Chains A and B, each alone.
Chain A
Amino acid sequence: MWDYVVARRDEILFSSYQHASLVLQCVLLATVIALVVAVLVYRNRHLTSLAGSTTAIGLTIPSFALLGLLLTWLGFGVATSVVALTFYATLPILRNAVVGLSGVDRGTVEAARGIGMSRAATLLRVELPLAWPVVLTGIRVSTQMVMGIAAVAAYVLGPGLGGFIFSGLSRLGGANAVYSTLTGTIFVVVLALLVDLLLVLVGRLTTSRGIRA
C-alpha cells in the first residue's frame, strides 16, 4: 500500500487538491445561496417552515440518484458535480441560517431599530453576526457531508479523489484495486478532518469574543 501511494504521490496530491477545491468552492457558493434564501424567509413563519421541510426532504434524496438525474440534463462533467454538491451543501447551511436568524433575541433587534439602525444595517451588523456561529456549524456539517458526496461525483467524471475509489471498485480482484479504493477513501477522510480544522479556525477568527461559547 505504502509503495502504491509513494509511486502515485503526484497524482494523489493533485486529486486531493482538486477534491478540496471543488468542495470548498461548492460550499462557498452554497453559503451565499443559503444566506440569501434564509434572509428572505426567516421573518415569515410559513416560509420558514417550508424551508425547514424542503431541507429535510432534500437531504433524503440519494446522491447517486440525483447525479444520475442531473446527467440526463447537464451531461458528464464538472458542471453536474458542482450543481449536485452545491445543492446538498446548501441544505444544512440554510436550515442553520434560518434557525440562527430566528434565534436572535427580538429585544436586541428592536433595540437596533430603536436607536435608528436601518433594516439592512440591523441585518448586517446585528442579526447576521449573532447568527454566525450557528451558520458556521451548518457550514461544517455541509463540508463534511459534501466531502463524501464529492467522491461519489467522480462517477460523473467530476474531479477529485473519487476516481481512485471507483477505478479500484471496478477492477476488484485486479492488481492494486484494493489499494486504489483505500487510498481514495483515506485521503477523503484526511481532507475532511483538515478542512474541518480550518473551519474551526475560521470560526475563532470571525466570531466576536462577546458571543463565543
Chain B
Amino acid sequence: MPETTTTADEGAAGTTGASIHLQGVTKRYPGQPRPAVDGVDLEIRAGEILVLVGPSGCGKTTTLKMINRLIEPTSGRIVLDGEDVTTQDADKLRRRIGYVIQAGGLFPHMTVAANVGLVPKMLGWDKARTAARVDELLELVGLDPADYRGRYPRELSGGQQQRVGVARALAADPPVLLMDEPFGAVDPITRQRLQNELLSIQDELGKTIVMVTHDFDEAVKLGDRIAILDVGARIVQLGTPEEILTAPAEEFVSDFIGTGAALKTLTLSTLADVPLERGTTVTAGSPAAEAVAAARAAGDEFVVVLDAAGRPRRWVDVDRLAREDTVVATVDRDLPTLSRRATLHEALDTILTTAHNAVVVTGRRDTYLGYLSAETLLTSMTPARPASAAPAEGTGTPS
C-alpha cells in the first residue's frame, strides 16, 4: 500500500457546504395519534456528515425528506445557510439540494449523461457546459465518461448505478447532499467501496451531507456526527461516533449499538494510534549470525527481513535463520502487512484470517515501522470498553 502523503487529513479543499437548522420541525399525519416527527431541533454544521440512525419507523427518513420538503412539515422552520426555506418554492429549493436514494433512483429511459445532466438542464445551463460537467462528475465517481455516458441504467451494475446517482445529485454543485439509505441495495463489498469513495469525494468537496441509515456500523464509519433517533424522531443522542460508542447516553443507545461496542471502536482508531513493537530487523544480504545473536539477546523469536529500501520482505524464525549463512531477500507474499492508516478493525481481521500472531505495519513508501502483536492489539482495545463491561473482561493494562 503506497503512501503518497502523510498529510491526507489536511487535504480538504475548504468547506463549500451550508449549515442546516431544523427548528421545532413536526410532521403530523391525519388519523395518527402521535406525530411521526415531533418537534425536532437539529443543527447540522456546514461541511459535516451527519448520519441519522434509528430503528425503522422512528421518523428518520421523514426528517430527512422534510429538509428538501419532499414531505412538508406540519410546523417548524427549516433554515438553510441562515435563510428560512420553509415557504420557498419547493422545486427551486430541491435544485439546490442534492438527493440520493437507494439504488440511485435513476431514470431507466434516460442515458447516464441525461440523468446526470438533468438538474443543470433545468437550471438552464447550455449544452456544452452541461456536457463538460457530466464528464467531470463521472470521472469524480470513478466511471470513464467515454464508456459510460451513453449507457442506460440497466446496462450498469448496482454499484455503478449508485455512483451515477451520486453524480446526478452533485451535478449543480449543491452545498447540501441528502442521502436516504444510499448503500442499502448493494452487496457488502461494493458497499464498503462506495463508502470509501464517498469519504474521499467528501474530502475533496466538503459538502454538508445528511444521511439516513439503519446500519449503525455505516454510521460509525461515515459520520462526523451521529444522531440516534427514537420514535417520533426524538434525538436520543447526538455526538461523534467516539462519544456515542464510549458513552452511550441511554440504555436505548446501548441497545441500538448492540453487542460488540468495543469491537466497533476498533474502526475508530488506526494503527498509527497504537504502540508498535519494533522487533529485530535485518537487511537482506547481511550475515545471518549477527541477526540471530541480536534476536536472541532481545528475546525475539523471529526476525523481520527488510530490503535495502527498508521495506519488509518476510519474517523468519530465529532457529531457521541460524541455519542460513547470508540472509536471502525472498519475498513472502503472505506476509500480513498493513498501512498504518488501516483501522484496528482491519488489523484484527488480518490477524484472524492469516493465522499469524501479528501484523507488520508500514509507513511512508511501504517502509517498515514495526509490528502489532495480537496481545498489544487486545490491550489497546481495553480502554475503549464501556465502563459497565469492564469488570468481567477488564484485565488488560491500558497503555
Contact = CB atoms under 8 A, between A and B. Distances in A.
B68 A114 contact: yes
Contacts of A111: 99, 101, 105-107
Contacts of B103: 107
Interface string B129-155: 000000000000000000000001110
Nearest to A208: B109
Interface stretch (B17-25, B87-95, B353-361): B87-95
Interface residues of B, number: 28
Interface string A32-44: 0000000000000
Interface residues of A, number: 19
Given A111-B99, A210-B154, A116 B92 contact: yes
A130 B91 CA distance: 22
Given A107-B101, A110-B101, A114-B68, A211 B94 contact: no
A114 B168 contact: no
B111 interface: yes
B119 A114 contact: no
Interface string B7-37: 0000000000000000000000000000000
Interface in B94-130: 94-95, 98-99, 101-103, 105-111, 118-119, 122
Contact of A115 (B109, B118, B153, B154): B118
Interface in A27-72: none
B101 to A, nearest CB: 6
Contact of B108 (A108, A110, A113, A118): A108
B153 A210 contact: yes
Contacts of B111: 210
A145 interface: no
B157 to A, nearest CB: 15
Nearest to B123: A116
Interface string A186-213: 0000000000000000000000111100
A15 B99 CA distance: 57
A194 to B, nearest CB: 28
A110 B70 contact: yes
B94 A115 contact: yes
Interface string A115-131: 11110010000100110
B169 interface: yes
Interface in B39-75: 68, 70
For the complex of A and B, 7 pairs with smallest distance between CB atoms: A111-B105, A210-B152, A208-B109, A116-B95, A114-B99, A116-B94, A210-B109
Interface of A: 107-108, 110-118, 121, 126, 129-130, 208-211
